[in-house]
Structure 1
Amino acid sequence: MTQDDTISAIATAVGEGGIGIIRLSGENSLTIASQIFEPKNGSNVIDIPSHRVTYGQIVDHEKDCVIDEGLLLTMHGPHSYTREDVVEFHCHGGAMAMQNVLALTLKCGARLAEPGEFTKRAFLNGRLDLSQAQAVIDIIRSKTDASLRMAVGHLSGEFSDKVRGFRHDILQMIAHLEAAIDFPEDDIDEVATDSAREQVVNIKEEIEALLSTAKTGKVLRDGLETAIIGKPNVGKSSLLNAMLRETRAIVTDIPGTTRDIIEEFANIGGVPLKIIDTAGIRATDDTVEKIGVEKARSYVDRADLILALFDGSSNLDHEDEEILSLIKGRKALIVINKSDLNAGSTVKEYINKELPNHEIIHLSTVNGTGMDALEEYIVDLVYSGTVEQKEGVFVNSVRQAELLRKACTHLDEVLNTIDQEMSPDFIVIDLRSAWEKLGEITGDTVGEDIIDQIFSQFCIGK
């Protein structure tokens, strides 16, 4: 398999739809299209101008039959997504129609595209850098407006521009220091070193500010895993339904209704929440419920945020106390439900005594009281310290964060080298290491194995 191959794939989602798209990219795209597409106006596909839509029929000449009718969109390189010749067949969105058109393109010389190969070619041909290419899959997977804004910002180059700015400044420092090395008689060694130290401190501070967005960026990209825990019948499923704004979980007065884990994504103030409604934590002889309780305990250890729910209309019992012991030292918000009942329980007093550093929110899943406060808490938790930044420049992956940290480490080594009054040669070595690490983010200095690993996560046809 080489980049010289013409590739083909279904570009629309699996399932039935009004329109289905089969995409080709490569030097033989127009030739292959001309073998199976007959324009109704009698024109030749090869002669159709770029970025022109043409109506016609898709024909299997070997079987002498029409497969479908639809539109052909031609895009001549380099003015296309991949910067190669690209054609798209817009046919009816039935599974058989799309599979038959795809099979025709393969029979005429194309090969089936690998996952993410269209975007990989866009990267290799210089249309996108690596950060922008990764943003393509993030746009597809976005679950809220905020996560979409972050992905679109990355795709438009906001994040890449920041990183390139750092690389440009570091490269200028390298040039000045190498001039000092090459022309020692001009006595610019000390001046270049002093200037480099000041610039390194500034760049390092900017990178650290960027790194401070990593937690928020990861949440916007992947979602905040949030477990709702509590004993049976405190309103866990009601809270899940209230956060989803739909009836997703069964709610009854019978304790132990939820026996398995229910997972759903909710949009809370722009933050994608992966909400996990767990089984009520209690001692039980029911085999199925017992498995659910064990799963609930395991989510206490792995969740990014725990919503520990208590019944505000009754006093604490030993099951509540066990739940409080589970969340000690964890990132947990204590939620006292059924505030509409105005019962004089001792829940709040006990919690303030046992867990004084945990915030408490009173709410009612019946009338919605307190839901705004819960949403505000979650948004503040996610955006804390990053509200002044635009989502488009958030660090949104572990890989990006790790490379930025390594660049900072090399910049620390630069400062240490300067403070020890070592030769500019050694300063240049550390600066170049930082420059190369930043280049791995944009793809300028990245290895082929990393590129393959990144694009393997894409869907076929993108």
Structure 2
Amino acid sequence: MADTIFALATAAGRAAVAVVRVSGPETVSVVEALTGGRPKARTAALRTLRHGGADLDEALVLRFEGPASYTGEDSVEFHVHGGRAVVEALMVALSELGLRLAEPGEFTRRAFENGKLDLAQAEGVADLIDAETEAQRRQALGQVGGALSQRYDRWRDLLIQSLAMLEAAVDFPDEDLPEEVAERARPGLRVLSAELDAALADVSRGRRVRDGFRIALVGAPNAGKSTLLNALVERDAAIVTDTPGTTRDVIEAPLVLGGYKVLIADTAGLRETADAIEAEGVRRARAWAEEADLRLWVIDGFHVKHTVKLEEAVRPGDWLVLNKTDIADAAALDEATARWAGEGLKVVRLSARSADALAEVREALSIYVAGVLSGADFPAATRLRHAERLVEAQGYVRRALSDVGLEVELAAEDVRLAARALEKIAGRVDPEDVLGRVFSTFCIGK
């Protein structure tokens, strides 16, 4: 029999109201011990909580009978006043009544184990709690609602249909079956393979929405990277001085652009240096920029004719920010703009002292980020774990397609393995260590 667990479900600290949750087989007896009765299920009841002959608090008690509860078990929520002493007294009372403090994510894990949620939906609960932007909220809520699981279930149905054809050819070779019955598995497998290709091409979008779109500010020292960072995040995140090499490490700052979470980084100025600390900063800058989703090369417009060579550093999709345009030579700026636009870079002119120019850059970045991360379809993967299983399933599907008509038994086994790979995403077939990793990321009380 499972333990009865309890935890504070609201944030710790002083508040108007705190919610303490209980779930497990002893829930009803605990409610009776604290309230002296059994409030009607699914109805909020005002009760005085008593323990050890003393009043603890007046609370709203909301009781749920399993399986019609979040965890699928008998459970209760005590809505008490949010003072530290009140919450602590209730927690002590629950412990003395024999209940155990819940582990991180244990309530949601029980919901998963009792069939109330699949694993993808459970991960969506964690993402919903952590959501900082509207886009993260929408994605997480869709995942909790089963959008991700429904997509995988449809793919699994295609595999089952194909597997039925293959197994018929294997198990009943002498029966009066249509000719080339195994070949009838190909169309469904081809459709699935194409959809998996599309999903894998889009695999980073869901993780970028969840973790943040990464923008790197790169360029030579004193080009204005730190000033631009501070202007975009609207605070003094980086130190700005006239001394070259002031920024010696990667300075990351979060912001929201177009409704999406963005992580923007000011990096050390790229130059050759004998200073060991600055050299390490340059190395880190190059590494961060290499992994960034978008790189903004910030160029000192006043010295645009003598700027660092970009030919070997830029890549398609990079932006070139010509900074300090208020003090730069107009003809030189026009020449640089024409040159780099011809190389396929987006060129932006900027004076960090101009509020209008900064607003235009922010708007351009917002439009770009929203264009990259928005999509008509729900993303097929929101975590690295999902992407790995999609790659695994695609490998089996492709191998099955090559085996159909040659080794039908092998094709059937590959289809079964592909189905299992997809099932692991929803948690229907998942080892204990994977479950432990997933739920350990949850907060106590969820």
What TM bracket, shorter-length normalisation? 0.7 to 0.9
Aligned to 1:32: 30
SS at match of 1:368: helix
Q: Distance in 2 between matches of 1:292 and 1:314?
A: 23
Residues 203 and 380 of structure 2 are in contact (CA less than 8 Å); yes or no, is this contact kept in structure 1? Answer: yes
SS of match in other structure, 2:390: helix
Cα distance, 1:289 vs. partner?
7.3
**TM-score, structure 1 normalization:** 0.85
Cα distance between partner residues in 2 of 1:433 and 1:282: 51
Structure 1 Cα separation of the partners of residues 274 and 79 of structure 2:
58
The DSSP-based 3-state class of the residue aligned with 2:206 is helix
Alpha-carbon separation, structure 2, partners of 1:212 and 1:298: 24
Q: Please say if 1:107 is aligned against 2:93.
A: no
Give the match for residue 134 of structure 1: 123
The answer to whether 1:368 aligns with 2:356 is yes
In 1, Cα distance between equivalents of 2:26 and 2:388:
41
- C-alpha distance in 1 between matches for 2:433 and 2:238: 47
Q: Does 1:65 align with 2:54?
A: yes
> Equivalents in 2 of 1:242, 1:201: separation in Å?
50
Are the structure 2 counterparts of residues 363 and 376 from structure 1 closer, same or farther at C-alpha, using a change threshold of 3 Å?
A: farther
Amino acid of the residue matched to residue 30 of structure 1? V
| Residues in 2 aligned to 1:413 and 1:284: alpha-carbon distance in whole angstroms | 52
Matching residue of 1:10? 8
Secondary structure in 2 aligned to 1:346?
helix
Q: Distance in 1 between matches of 2:426 and 2:138?
A: 19
What's the offset of the Cα at 1:231? 4.2
CA distance, structure 1, for counterparts of residue 69 and residue 218 of structure 2: 51
With over 3 angstroms needed to count, the CA separation of the structure-2 counterparts of 1:184 and 1:132, relative to structure 1, is same
2:192 maps to which of 183, 194, 203: 203
Matched, 1:439 2:423: yes
Q: Could you tell me whether the CA contact under 8 Å between 1:312 and 1:345 is conserved in 2? A: no
Q: In the alignment, does 2:255 pair up with 1:266?
A: yes
2:237 is the counterpart of 1:249: yes
Task: Show the counterpart of 1:334.
Answer: 320
1:178 equivalent to 2:167? Answer: yes
- CA deviations on 1:397-427 (whole Å, 9 max, x unpaired) are 1111111111111111111101xx3243222
**Residues 97-246 of structure 1 aligned to structure 2 (within 5 Å):** 97-188=86-177, 190-244=179-233, 246=234
Equivalent residue letter for 1:50: A
Q: Deviations over 1:359-380 (max 9, x none)?
A: 3222344223232223323333
Conserved 8 A contact 1:180-1:189: no
The answer for the alignment partner of 2:21 in structure 1 is 23
Helix, strand or coil at the partner of 2:304: coil
2-side partners of 1:433 and 1:310: how far apart?
52
The residue aligned with 2:413 is 429
How far apart are residue 126 of structure 1 and its match?
0.4
CA distance in 2, matches of 1:81, 1:260: 46
| Superposed displacement of residue 314, structure 1 | 3.9
Match of 2:346 among 359, 365, 369: 359
- Name the structure 1 match of 2:393: 407
C-alpha deviation, 1:253, in angstroms: 6.0
How many angstroms apart in 2 are the aligned matches of 1:233 and 1:70? Answer: 60
- Residue 321 of structure 1 is matched in structure 2 by 308
Q: CA RMSD in A?
A: 3.0
Per mean C-alpha deviation after superposition, the further-off stretch among 75-84 and 167-176 is 167-176
The one-character-per-residue Cα deviations of 1:234-292 (angstroms, maximum 9, x if unpaired) are: 43344334433x32436766446656643222111133111123355568899987876
| Contact 1:19–1:90, Cα closer than 8 Å, also in 2 | yes
Distance 2:399 2:286 in 1: 44
| In 1: Cα distance, 2:174 partner to 2:74 partner | 55
Unaligned runs of 5+ in 1: 39-43
CA displacement at 1:198 relative to structure 2: 1.1
Matching of residue 450 in structure 1 with residue 434 in structure 2? yes
Question: For residues 205 and 45 of structure 2, what CA distance do their matches in structure 1 show?
Answer: 45
Distance 1:326 1:144 in 2: 36
| Counterparts of 1:4 and 1:461, CA distance in 2 | 17
1:290–1:60 distance in 2 versus 1, CA, 3 Å: farther
Please say if residues 136 and 210 of structure 2, whose CA atoms lie closer than 8 Å, have aligned partners that are also in contact: yes
Note closer, same or farther for the CA distance 1:422–1:94 as it changes in structure 2 (3 Å cut). same
Shift in Å, 1:80: 0.8
Q: Could you tell me how far apart the structure 2 residues matched to 1:248 and 1:337 are?
A: 19
Q: Distance in 2 between matches of 1:92 and 1:186?
A: 73
**Cα distance in structure 1, aligned partners of 2:176 and 2:407:** 13
Distance in 2 of aligned mates of 1:265 and 1:180: 57
Q: TM-score, normalised by structure 2?
A: 0.88
Bigger drift between 3-12 and 213-222 goes to 3-12
1: CA distance, partners of 2:424 / 2:222: 51
Compared CA separation, residues 32 and 188, structure 1 to 2 (3 A): same
Alpha-carbon shift at residue 330 of structure 1 (Å): 8.3
- Which residue matches 1:41? none
Match of 1:79 among 51, 61, 68: 68
Q: Does structure 2 conserve the Cα–Cα contact (< 8 Å) formed by 1:243 and 1:268?
A: no
Compute the displacement of 1:164 (Å). Answer: 0.5
2:44 paired residue among 32, 53, 67: 53
The C-alpha deviation readout for 1:157-186, integer Å capped at 9, x for no partner, is 111111101112211222233233333233
| Cα deviation code 1:293-313 (max 9, x no counterpart) | 665455334433322212324
Does structure 1 residue 389 correspond to structure 2 residue 376?
Answer: yes
Could you tell me how far apart the structure 2 residues matched to 1:389 and 1:155 are? Answer: 18
Question: Which shows bigger deviation, 215-224 or 393-402?
Answer: 393-402
**1:352 Cα deviation (Å)?**
6.6
Whether the 8 Å CA contact 2:229–2:238 is kept in 1: the answer is: no
SS in 2 for 1:315: helix
**What displacement does 1:329 show?**
4.6
Contact 1:313 1:345 (C-alpha < 8 Å) held by counterparts? no
Structure 2: how far apart are the matches of 1:18 and 1:106?
23
SS of aligned partner of 2:71: coil
What SS does structure 1 have at the residue aligned with 2:409? helix
User: What fraction of aligned residue pairs are identical, expressed as a percent?
Assistant: 35
